Structure 1
Amino acid sequence: MKTYQDQIGNVLGLKKTPLRIVSLVPSQTELLVDLGLKDSIVGITKFCIHPSSLRKEKTIVGGTKTINTEKIKTLQPDIILCNKEENTKEIVEACLKIAPTHVSDIFTIDDVIELINQYGEIFDCVSKSSEILDDLTNKLTNFQQFIKGEKTIKVAYFIWKNPWMVAGNTTFINHLLELNNFENVFRDKERYPEVDITKRSSVDAILLSSEPYPFKEKHILELQKKLPNVKVILVDGEMFSWYGSRLLKAFEYFKTLRNSI
């Protein structure tokens, strides 16, 4: 039996390479497909939208916060993949009673690299995981060279409305904002706090994420009435919050975004 320690310190034992996977995290589902493991996926969430055909081909076992444990049991998974932020403690505990459960915990790109390495070992696809990591490293290095000469821009990154909520410190989003040489004006707050943007006098741009709240053009107009001197932009939330292989597309997007501000 091989043992692995996940990113929250839990140890899981596997007698063989898992051939039946239930993934409860959309970005990790996408990563599995890019690792060549599509045929091994038996269960996903309703939010696992990449690739778009997947929800027609696999069993949907719920969302990221609510799951149907009976559905998962009938799939007889060899492993269940969770994330500390995306899934609740109760979900993880329920999954542990069904099959070995791996929980990721992502704050930085280094954590992403660790996760991809772990998946390579667990699912016996080291060659493909190494290929993805080489590509990721090259794209990251290229972007770091690009961003060197770019000025610091003070931003607020909104994820929700009614109440207005932003990405604060100790989040993967904040890490990517810093990588973009964006200064998060709410970095003094933890996680995803409710805020009043009108009380922050120094902000250059407001970034409205496409997820989890589906911000639209009308919300730009709403905020610009309150803050006429601040640039308000819609941004692709997947690029800022989906880790794994989505990052391979993110850095070119970040370049375009920087050039638009």
Structure 2
Amino acid sequence: MKSYSLIDAVGIVHTFDKVPQRIVSLVPSQTELLVDLGLESKIVGITKFCIHPKHLKNTKCIVGGTKKVNYDKIKALKSDVIICNKEENTLEIVENLRAVCAVWVTDIVTIEDNFKMIEDFGKLLDCNIEAKLLISGLSFALSDFKQFIERKPIRKVVYFIWKNPYMVAGSDNFINELLKLNRFENIFENQPRYPEMQLQQINEAADLNFMFLSSEPYPFKQKDILEMKALVNQPGIILVDGEMFSWYGSHLLKAFAYFKELHLKL
């Protein structure tokens, strides 16, 4: 096979003499995507947060988390490419790992970015047919969901991702993209990324319909709802599955079904 060159999401040109056969993935949703593209046998290293499919933790080397990795473990795996993400992994990790092997970085903010990532994986890892089939399936599911959602009312929401301090989803992230897709108007969309906030701001928000408490990265529970209800004048406090709002890749197929169920409960 001839050598080939591809450009990742942060503009780095990568040239490969052969298709990578040993992959380390440092992003849970991208690990799941690699498996769904038929590449499980090529994955040699994952993070402790790579929980889908469940059996991977027993068959692959766990090299740390998304923000802290064991460099010695990764070096010992003799990988051909390390898959990272601009948001999930720190710049320090990415730069340090470039001394080990090629580091392919993704950057997912929109659904279009997600399709581009899958297409790029198809080219990078020689699974074009699988990538095209997945994109086709996702495109159909997206079109179906848009028909489902088009007559739903717009609802104002706030999406919590963290506690102590309280942090919420702002703009320029995949969570906000999926909120918009669901016709949820994010009251913090005018703020960048993941701003800190005070609960008193909830009482000052006009016509807020729902407070969403995500299951990740902070694992909000029923007790948090009770705690918040004592502090804010907002009855619509709901626990939501954080994976469905923040995992990209093939996980979107599960998310569309989840979103339909969520709307039926609201």
Relative to the length of structure 1, the TM-score reads 0.98
Within 5 Å, which residues of 2 pair with 1:93-132? 93-132=95-134
Q: 1:201 aligns with which of 205, 224, 244?
A: 205
Q: 1:256 aligns with which of 236, 258, 261?
A: 261
Corresponding residue SS for 2:230 = helix
Query: What is the Cα deviation at residue 228 of structure 1?
Result: 3.8
Q: Does residue 136 of structure 1 match 2:138?
A: yes
Query: What is the Cα deviation at residue 95 of structure 1?
Result: 1.2
Query: What is the Cα deviation at residue 65 of structure 1?
Result: 0.5
Gapped runs of 5+ residues in structure 1? none
**How many angstroms apart in 1 are the aligned matches of 2:228 and 2:154?**
22
Within 5 Å, which residues of 2 pair with 1:62-77? 62-77=64-79
Q: 2:226 aligns with which of 205, 221, 228?
A: 221
Corresponding residue SS for 1:226 = coil
Q: Does residue 87 of structure 1 match 2:93?
A: no
Deviations 1:83-131 (A, max 9, x none): 0000000100111111111000000000000000000111111111111
Deviations 1:142-173 (A, max 9, x none): 00011110000000000000000000011110
Corresponding residue SS for 2:216 = coil
Query: What is the Cα deviation at residue 227 of structure 1?
Result: 2.5
Corresponding residue SS for 1:212 = coil
Q: Which residue of 2 aligns with 1:11?
A: 13
Give the counterpart letter for 2:127 in structure 1. Answer: C
Query: What is the Cα deviation at residue 222 of structure 1?
Result: 1.2
**How many angstroms apart in 2 are the aligned matches of 1:25 and 1:226?**
36
Give the counterpart letter for 1:214 in structure 2. Answer: P
Give the counterpart letter for 2:126 in structure 1. Answer: D
Tell me the percent identity.
Answer: 53
**How many angstroms apart in 2 are the aligned matches of 1:108 and 1:51?**
24
Alpha-carbon RMSD across the aligned residues, in angstroms, is: 0.8
**How many angstroms apart in 2 are the aligned matches of 1:223 and 1:128?**
45
**How many angstroms apart in 2 are the aligned matches of 1:171 and 1:165?**
14
**How many angstroms apart in 2 are the aligned matches of 1:170 and 1:9?**
19
Deviations 1:54-107 (A, max 9, x none): 011000111100111111111000100000000000100111111111000000
Size of the alignment, in residue pairs? 261
Misfit runs of 4+, over 6 Å: none
Within 5 Å, which residues of 2 pair with 1:43-54? 43-54=45-56
